[in-house]
Amino acid sequence: AQSVAQPEDQVNVAEGNPLTVKCTYSVSGNPYLFWYVQYPNRGLQFLLKYITGDNLVKGSYGFEAEFNKSQTSFHLKKPSALVSDSALYFCAVRGRNSGNTPLVFGKGTRLSVIA
């Protein structure tokens, strides 16, 4: 079975500092990995995904994530945090089998960027 772990419920970072939101996964075979962001009373907005190729994936709003197969991790990073980045972040995984299989989500990490 596929699963995602986001070990931190909350991450606090000062504006302008780098941020990291952690994610580890478990899946049979090679994974597709995703990061989504959710603002209050909004749906999930896609940030980035890893399918294959370069382990460093760049996405929306200056976010990037690094796929590490040996550590089964896909941590989300940003070099300089903004107050507007404060939101709920979800990591998700699906197996690399055929068809449009559903995403399995972690429990989410709340990011708070302090001015």
Partner 1 sequence: EAGVAQSPRYKIIEKRQSVAFWCNPISGHATLYWYQQILGQGPKLLIQFQNNGVVDDSQLPKDRFSAERLKGVDSTLKIQPAKLEDSAVYLCASSSGGGYTFGSGTRLTVV
**Smallest distance from the beta carbon of 69 to partner 1, in angstroms?**
19
92 membership: H or E segment, kind and range: strand 87-95
The answer to whether 59 contacts partner 1 (rule: CB under 8 A) is no
The answer to whether 44 contacts partner 1 (rule: CB under 8 A) is yes
Binder among 1, 10, 41, 115 for partner 1 (CB under 8 A): 41
Bridge partners, 65 (sequence order): 57, 76
* Chain-centre distance for alpha carbon 39: 15
The answer to whether 104 contacts partner 1 (rule: CB under 8 A) is yes
Q: Is 45:37 a contact under the CB 8 Å cutoff?
A: yes
The answer to whether 52 contacts partner 1 (rule: CB under 8 A) is no
